[in-house]
Structures are given as structure tokens and as C-alpha cells.
Structure 1
């Protein structure tokens, strides 16, 4: 019996998949919490709001750098204690953030969170491949990424609310508690996960020689940079161009988050049939949603509908492109997972930066033009890659 036959016969470990999903929910929630707490954090630590915002930036940068370094450093260690250790670091980071007496102490805590985030992101694809049979990987990725989408919806508003009730330190205690729950869930469900082979530079080199992987990473970079460029500055568009009231803006953003959660759930079903077609179609949907804001009279109803579709398309895309990358390098899952995580984080940072430049030069409408162009290029790229792969399989 070869490895493929064996992999198709083992039972799917869905409890462990849901535990990994909750761990990702806890990690991303902790990453996004400071967004709604910057003002009270800055006031309490006696620093500028911009300085406090570096707590978010540092986490993203650390995650981007630590993903490939983590994969290179773990060698032949069993993945179960590694994942558990990263969840413990999440809990410790939350606790250290809650008791931080200076900006530097907070940044140390957020650095630790970046390590946990980057390391876990690097192993998500490999975990999905190890916990369920190949034909169910898309569904597993959908469940895991639904945790990420849910955190994106829940963390900012809940963080703001808890900050008012318990102050910002109490909010980080909640992040630490989420970390403890994640540890408990992983401890109860994860089996032993010895590596099939020790990942190294050769694994990254082989992965980066595959055209399908390069196409997937380039698509991630294009679509995500366009998405984060536009979405980071969607509120100025609503305020300055659409002249929406704050209640209408909040409702539209809530619908974006809800659409993202639904898209993550459905994306796994579609991606299991064709990851390339699903990724391409969702990128086109994102482009059309962003474009409609420029060309359709942005009434509250129209703005809410377009933003909900945008969120749905982004949720579908996240699952589809992760499934594509998993299929393109299933034998080097940790390497492709680390590269994907780094691409995600760099695209987020670059997208927000380019969005700022576009807004300054051309206003809020200009940034949506960039969003549409980047999404369209990504859609064409991954569709072409999918067509080439299908030709190779039928040749």
C-alpha cells in the first residue's frame, strides 16, 4: 500500500480540526484586539496613538518573518507539542499585555504573539492534510479559516465593548483565557503528529520551483494587497463620497464580517470541486463589489449590499487559495504554509501602505481602482494556472 492509499483510508479527525479553528480564532482575535483599544492604551501608557499602533504592526511583521523560520527550525519534532506550545505562548502574550507597564513591555508581549501567530499559520495547511483525508482537505480548511473570519468580525467590536466595561487590560485577560481554552481543546483532540520528513531549505526550494505554487502565492499577494488597500480605507469612502452616517457605516461593516464567515463556510464546498475556478470567481466577485461602490449611487442599502458581497467573496477566496496551495504542494505542506502565511502578512502591510498612497494622491475612489485592478489580475492569474494544471493532468 502506497502513501496515497494509506492517506485516503484514515478517519477524519474533525474534533481536532475544530480545535485548530478555535486556536486560529483566538490568535487572530488577539492580533486584532488593539485596533479598537489604541486610544486607551496610548493614554494609559502615556504614548502617542501612533506609537501604540506599533503593537499591531510588530505582530504582523513578526508573524511574516517567523513563519518560514519556524518551519526551518522545528526539524523532526512532533508537531503536537509544537502546536500546544504556540497556544501556550498566545495565553502568555495575553497575560503579559494585560500587565504591561510600558510600551516596550507591551511590544515584547505582542512580539511573542507574532511568533505564535506565524508558527501556527505555517502549520495550518499541514495540519489539515494530516487530520483529514485528501478529499476532505477543502472542508477542513474551510472550517479552520471560518475561525479566522469570525475573529475578524468579533474581535474589533467586542474589544471596544470590553475595553469600556473592563478597560483595555481586562480585554487582554480575555485573550489569555481564549489561549487557555485553545490549549485545552488541542490537548484533548490532537493526535501525535511526527513529521514525515524534516523540512529544510531544500523543501522551500522545491516548493518555489513549482509553477502552481508560484501562481498561488502571486495570486495571494495581488488579491490580498488590493483587498486590504481598499478595505482599510473603506470608511473614508463611505464618509467622504457616500456621505453615510456612522450607524450606516457600522451596519455595512458588520455585514462585511457576516459575509466573510458565510463565504468561508461555503468556500470549502466550491473549492473541493475546483480551487482555481473558485479562487478566480471570488476575486472577480470582490472586484465587482468594490467597483459597484464607485459606479452605483452609494445609498445605505446599496453600500451595505456591496460590502456584504465583498466580505462573502473575500471569505470564499481565502479558503479557495489555501486549498489550491495545499493541493499544489501537499508533499511540502509546511513549506507552502509558511510561504503562504508570509505572503498574507506582507500583502496586508503593503496593501494598507499602497492604499494610503492612493488615498493621498487620488482620494478614496482612487484606492478602489487599485483594489479592482489587483483583484482582476489575481483572478486571471489563478484561472490560467488552473487551466495549465488541468492540461497537464489530461496530457
Structure 2
């Protein structure tokens, strides 16, 4: 019975993790193919970078209203619909005749993304036993990290060899395979309590959640100010080859898995505040060091490892705090707010990076991100950590 119970947990959890892999691969694919997309449509790289910005802002604006509207449905029905919508929009991305059509298809993907990341973590912790919640979260984040290791580099390789359109078509094929798998293994999980927009002020009265959202906005902005322009930075400033850049993108994912393992092992009890502050500081330091690190391949490799590990650990740590301090009925909507704010940070970071790149130089995107990162570390120390110490978890 124990083996059967474990299998019933592992199969759907693996499905969510693979879906996370595919969603994350798609979200950041324009970063890996930014130069080629810009060249194909005859636009500047900063304008092509708006594909990242618009996607992120769409998720930011749509996460809460879409999740509130979807809260009446069970997780199984939602998951299957979202993966199907995601795959269809990938096909539209692959055949887009122009920049505007590609942007519209990406907004469709963003709608699926907005709800998927609102339910992924709550669904993951509900398909496993309570004592395995941290493991479930780390597995979902590991799926995202594998996207950095395999998804982005493979997509870049396919894009360089066959064109960026074929990359999006490959993502569509994989997403339909994931849809078939989830259809057979994902259990029926009842939706949580109905949640309306009127309930949002009460949710935000939680000092921990309010502080988590503020820190998320700042740190995500800091991280993606530099990361959104990592490809042109390494090309133009570092002078590195396409092969090296692909390998560097893979290192982010390898480090991300390391960050999720560290989270699963260390993020408990009294170590939580120190762990969180350390990884946030690591993001600020990584952003500040991108320019000096570009002087050598070893420096870039070390930077990518630190940056990737801290970025993943930051993400999953704050998700853990949201689930710790929200009720089961609030969890999906609380996560939708987190997803929206996180993507606000991605969009803001991409916009800041684009503005710095266009008006000054791509060399300084890291320095701009570091300034925002310092503000995020300060907000964590002054607001979030004291709130975590005072508050009592739900359940």
C-alpha cells in the first residue's frame, strides 16, 4: 500500500514538474533567441525585448482576475485546459507572419501562464502528504531549472540551426505530449473555497504576504534587469561565441537545481531568515559583478552558478512563505498575486535593461539591477523577516 500511495503522489507531481519545465522554457525562449527574432522582423533588439516585457506585464495584470474567475473549477480541469491553450498558442507563435502576430500569440501563452503558476504549487502540495510539502515545491522548481539546463539551450540550438520558429513548434509538440500524460495521471482535486476580489484586501492584511510581495517586486526587477539581456551582453561586451553563451545559459539551470536542493535541505525552522537574506544578497552581488566577470570565461561561469542558484532559491523560498501563511482556500489566489507581482518585476527588469541598453550601453544593465537588488535586500531585512518572526502559520 505504501508503494501504491507513493506512486499516486509521484506520477501527478512529475506531470506538474514537466509542465513547469515546458512553461518556463517558453517564457524565457525569447531571451535565448532575442538576436535572431530581432533580425527576422527587422527590429532593434530592445524592441524585440518587448516580447519579454509584454508577456510579463500580461501575466502581472491577468493573474489575479483570471484566477478569481477560474477558482470555481477543479485543478484537474484547469490544468488540462491550460496546457491545451498553451500548446495552441505555441503553434500560433511558430507561424506568426509578423511582430504583432507573434506578440498576440505570446499574450495568449501569458494567459495560460498566469493561471498555471497560480495553481502549480498549491496543486503540488495537495497531491503529496503534508510532510513532503517542501519536497513537492522543490520538485516543481527543479522542473523550471531543468528548463534552463536543457530547454533554453536546446531551443537555442534548434533556433540557430533551423530558425526560431521551429523552436516554438517543438515546444508545442512537447506540450501536447504533456497534455496526454496529465490526462491519464492527474487526479481530481476539488477547487478551494470560492474567492472573490472583495476578499483580496483581507488577504493583503497579512504582514508577511504584503512584505513577500514587496520583496518579490524588487528582487525580480533586479534579477531580470541583467538576465533579460544576458545574450547580447555576452556577445557584445564579453565577445563570447554562440556555443559559450548556450553553455552559460545551461549553467543557470544547473545552479537552479542546486538552489532547489539547498532549499529542500535547509529552509526549515530558524534557518529560514538567514537562508532568505543570503540568497537575496547573492542576487544583488551577482548583478553587480556581471561586468567584471565578463573579462573571462571562468568568471562568467562562476557568476552564472551563483546567480542561478540564488534566483531559484529566492523564488521557491517566497512561495513557501506564501503557502505557510495563507489558508488552503486562499492559497491559489495568494499565489496568483505572487505570480502577477513576480512578472511585474520581470517586465520592469526587462524594460529597465532595455532602457539602459538603448540609452547608455548594455554593459551597465548589471549595475542598474544591483541598485534595485540592494533595495530588495533592505526591504527583506526591515519588513519581511520581522513579520515572519511575529506571525503564526496557518494550520
TM superposition score normalised by structure 1: 0.84
1:324 maps to: 321
Q: 1:83-118: CA deviations, max 9, x gaps?
A: 110001111112223333444443333222111111
1:131 maps to: 127
Q: Identify which of 76, 82, 89 aligns with 2:78.
A: 82
1:378 is the counterpart of 2:373 = no
Aligned CA distance change for structure 1 residues 32 and 354 (closer, same or farther; 3 Å): closer
Q: Identify which of 210, 216, 234 aligns with 1:220.
A: 216
1:147 is the counterpart of 2:143 = yes
2:389 maps to: 390
| Contact map agreement 2:34 2:49 (CA 8 A) in 1 | yes
Q: 1:3-45: CA deviations, max 9, x gaps?
A: xxxxxxx97823212211111111122223344445665676x
Aligned CA distance change for structure 1 residues 41 and 267 (closer, same or farther; 3 Å): same
1:343 is the counterpart of 2:341 = yes
Aligned CA distance change for structure 1 residues 42 and 71 (closer, same or farther; 3 Å): same
Aligned CA distance change for structure 1 residues 22 and 96 (closer, same or farther; 3 Å): same
| Structure 2: stretches of 5+ with no match in the other structure | none
Q: Mean Cα displacement is larger for which, 368-377 or 172-181?
A: 368-377
Aligned CA distance change for structure 1 residues 349 and 105 (closer, same or farther; 3 Å): closer
CA distance in 2, matches of 1:133, 1:323: 16
CA distance in 2, matches of 1:298, 1:329: 45
Aligned CA distance change for structure 1 residues 364 and 341 (closer, same or farther; 3 Å): same
| Structure 1: stretches of 5+ with no match in the other structure | 1-9
CA distance in 1, matches of 2:167, 2:294: 39
1:352 is the counterpart of 2:347 = no
Q: Mean Cα displacement is larger for which, 245-254 or 82-91?
A: 245-254
CA distance in 2, matches of 1:258, 1:151: 10
Question: What's the CA shift for 1:340?
Answer: 0.6
CA RMSD of aligned residues (A): 3.1
2:95 maps to: 99
Q: Identify which of 310, 313, 319 aligns with 1:313.
A: 310
Counterpart of 2:212 in 1: which secondary structure? Answer: helix
CA distance in 2, matches of 1:363, 1:38: 17
1:48 maps to: 43
Aligned CA distance change for structure 1 residues 354 and 377 (closer, same or farther; 3 Å): same
Q: Mean Cα displacement is larger for which, 155-164 or 358-367?
A: 358-367
Aligned CA distance change for structure 1 residues 380 and 189 (closer, same or farther; 3 Å): farther
TM superposition score normalised by structure 2: 0.84
Q: Mean Cα displacement is larger for which, 10-19 or 186-195?
A: 10-19
